[in-house]
Amino acid sequence: DMQMTQSPSAVSASVGDRVTITCRASQGIGSWLAWYQQKPGKAPKLLIYGASILQSGVPSRFSGSGSGTDFSLTISSLQPEDFATYYCQKANSFPFTFGPGTKVDIK
């Protein structure tokens, strides 16, 4: 099966910082990639789909880019409510594997 990797595994940042998380697929997946945010004890929340399409209601400080095997999620100005774990997920074929996650915490 294809593997999804994310880097870094964790990042410490301050409010207002620009944060970029990368996701790599072991094989090309076109633009079939989604990003989710998860806070402790809560269900994941869809942020980005189709690699770069912002889900309705998600703040515009979140953006996604990439295609093929290399993708990124950028938070342009980190807000207090953005401290969470972020997962990428492939959606081109089953299994719909998730990346291992990137935890964004307070510096």
Q: Which residues lie near another protein (CB under 8 A)?
A: 1, 31-32, 34, 36, 38, 42-46, 49-50, 53, 55, 87, 89, 91, 94-101
- Tell me which residue has tokens 């938070």: 75
Q: Which of 39, 26, 13, 5 is nearest to 92 (CA)?
A: 26
Nearest CB to another protein, comparing residues 80 and 95: 95
Least separation in angstroms between CB 94 and another protein:
4
The CB-of-15 to another protein minimum distance in angstroms stands at 26
Nearest to 74 by CA among 43, 103, 52, 50: 52
